[in-house]
Structure 1
């Protein structure tokens, strides 16, 4: 099994476990995958499987997982002011503060942003969604650590409007 396929399965398993789903089926030329929380679910070939715990991440994949970077310090670590505007995740996926590994983040706490300023990327199955500020102001808080899984609608950043 390729390393990319293992990474894709890991992402699917993470999404399954955190998404509140009871069953997920994926079939392609390369793989047939069934994740279910119901012990009575039939396998992909229609045969009932013996009850066995589902591992969220295959052991080979878990060993290669990199620890996420801590959330920025300073103003980002303090309390959130009720006057600040939240910038929410448009969809479920993995949150990335920078355009590629090793690059500086798109924005830093204290930085002035415009409505069109790109703040981060959300990735699901190699599909990247750019998240823009949507308002002008000063970035005051980063609510998520880099490479964390986020839910749609979850606050990612807080901006103090001018």
Structure 2
């Protein structure tokens, strides 16, 4: 059984440079940590949905216990890495959505005054790069054996092509 904590901690390490994620006001340190864990757990649920939107995983990623916050099976290291990368993507896509809403409310001159165009385009490129890398990782994941990480092959000798 793989605990959600493994993925939460892995994702938090990937996002640790983003101070917005770790900033909570008017709450104790323990409350802030609980809020952070709850928020990142939401990213995990969304990451699983995202994975299913891109492929059919070889295991049932929905086979988890929401009370115990753990999967009812052991994730491989590759799956932990993939899910934590997808959680990171979910986080940045939410930031991208916020940026989009922000752009709608502001005039172009307001936007340039607050956040220069190059910063916005750099951020959008970052999000796109994360998506592209994750799509490649998903492709490698589904084309490899879950336990051995060896590429799946088709034994053509068992098929009659005539």
Q: After TM superposition, is the score higher than 0.5?
A: no
Greater per-residue strand proportion: 1
Ranked by relative contact order (alpha carbons within 8 Å, sequence separation 6 or more), the top structure is 2
Q: TM-score, normalised by structure 2?
A: 0.25
Looking at secondary structure, tell me which structure has more helix per residue.
2
- With normalisation by structure 1, the TM-score equals 0.25
